[in-house]
Amino acid sequence: MAGYDVVVLGGGSAGCVLAARLSEDTDRSVCLIEAGPDYGPYAEGRWPADLLNANEPVAVSHDWGIEGGWPSWRARVLGGCSAHNSCLVVWGPPADYDEWGEAGNPGWSHAALDPYRRRCEQALRVRPSRVEDLDPFNRAGLEAATELGLPLLEDFDDPQATQGAAAIKVNAVGAVRWNAAFAYLDPARARPNLTIRADTLVDRLHLEGSRVTGVIVRVDGQEVEVAADRVVVAAGAYGSPAVLLRSGLGPAEELVAASIQVRAELPGVGRNLVDHPALEVWRRPAAGMLAATDTHYAADPARAWSRIRAQSQRCPVDRWDLHIAMFVDESDLDEPPFVSGERFPVLNVMALKPESRGRVRISSADPEALPVVEHGFLTDPDGHDVAVLVDGVRLTRRLAGTKALSRLCEGEVAPGLDLDEGELAEYARRWVGGDWHPVGTCKMGPETDAEAVVDHNGCVYGFDNLFVADASVMPTIPGANIHLPVLAVAERMAEGLRHR
């Protein structure tokens, strides 16, 4: 394959931003490499229906998966997670971004990122959800929150309110999921200096001393090298560390165990994994609730969702650390009290600022082998994360007791009101899941931080033309669905790269 000035590895949300912004300079040749398919511009009408329908989150037809056969909710397709996610546009507390700069990353703060956030919202055609488009459960959730005295927010991201509920913003045009490929690549596709190579699996980097000279990829089972003056890794919090590890960059003991030559000792690669732990509270539907929900979606409403935010007993006074979402879900368990295929209204509790950390590693140098993801949910030694989730469960019970929700939901199926405090905590540890918001595995930080993988410009320590620019560089997780923060990080990183 031909060589390029910049090669971007990964055509997900961040990769789409990077390729589009870097190719705005007509003197720079840019190649975007994506393992999955490219269905072309939205206007050509070739995208699968499940990836377009924002009222059917989350589509899993293009899911990568993770070891053990579980879905990863990261999509192997141009646009990445933005092509199959829930279309929720949330930002979170300003203090969550200020702490990045406070951790030794100059130039990173809420004030510095906010202009990029607004640019992203414009590109994604972000709009507010309309209350009339909310399904019955989500609309009742807003009413239930106000019954409890929580304010009804005009803007869910209002930094002045630490608690409240709102119909939140979405990146959907009507009921069409407006993904990052539509937002960023469609306007750029005609540029002669931009090449998009889909169905191309990244294997490893070609390293010579302190420089990257190219990327080894697989196309139709054949190994091919793409020459590059600069490489930007944007394969996400699972994929980016895997690329670095296969290239010999990471903890020496892990590389040796996987029979990979150590090219640079970077202990932080794959470490510091953090995601939002979540716990589902299942309730019985009242008579007519499921039918009303089906009737609502049969009318093909525009995408809309509401959400409640709140503070646990452990939350700092200037921010919030709980989200409550409402949806109807189908059980895949066939053990009491569940019947497989039975549908229930669910109140999902999400802890926004967890202290637990996990890691991502690889079992071999084979790029087809899925990364091994050890989430580490609820493993923090002082029980902070469990306590926050239990506070969230208590809030769902207060919500369920309101007039608004008691018309739609009846008794609690699980965890169950008969559990005492200790049993509820144990239930949380058994059934905790993630909200598929992984970050932190190529942590940005000063060179004095033993777990830092990149500096504040995204440059990998020890290399002068290798960068990472996606969710994996976030040193801590913001209290929000991470799609918008990831795009803002990529916008800011792209601007820095344009001037190097």
Q: Write the pLDDT tens digit of every residue in 288-344.
A: 999 999 999 999 999 999 999 999 999 999 899 999 999 998 887 767 677 778 899
At residue 395, the pLDDT reads 98
Mean pLDDT of the chain: 95
pLDDT for residue 69: 67
Least confident residue range of 56-60, 358-362, 486-490: 56-60
* Confidence tier at 447 by pLDDT (50, 70, 90): very high
**Helix runs in 190-333, H state only:** 236-246, 252-257, 289-298
pLDDT in tens, 374-427: 999 999 999 999 999 999 999 999 999 999 999 999 999 999 999 999 999 999
Specify the pairing of strand 222-233 against strand 466-468: parallel
472: exposed, middle or buried (C-beta count within 10 Å: 0-12, 13-18, 19+)? buried
Report pLDDT digits (tens) over 356-366. 999 999 999 99
Beta strands in 311-351 (DSSP E): 322-330, 343-351
| Domains of the chain as residue ranges with CATH | 4-123+176-273+437-498 (3.50.50.60), 130-167+276-358+374-434 (3.30.410.40)
Q: Which two tokens stand for residue 500?
A: 């190097």
Please calculate the CA angle 321-326-330 and round it to the nearest 5 degrees.
125
**3 vs 215: CA distance, rounded Å:** 10
pLDDT, position 72: 75
**Exposure letters 47-76 (e unless 16+ CB within 10 A, then b):** beeebbbbbbbebeebbbebeeeeebbbbb
- Report which of 73, 93, 110 is spatially closest to residue 353, judged by C-alpha positions: 93
Average pLDDT of the segment spanning 242-250: 98
Task: Tell me the per-residue pLDDT of 90-134, one tens digit each, with 9 for 90 and over.
Answer: 999 999 999 999 999 999 999 999 999 999 999 999 999 999 999
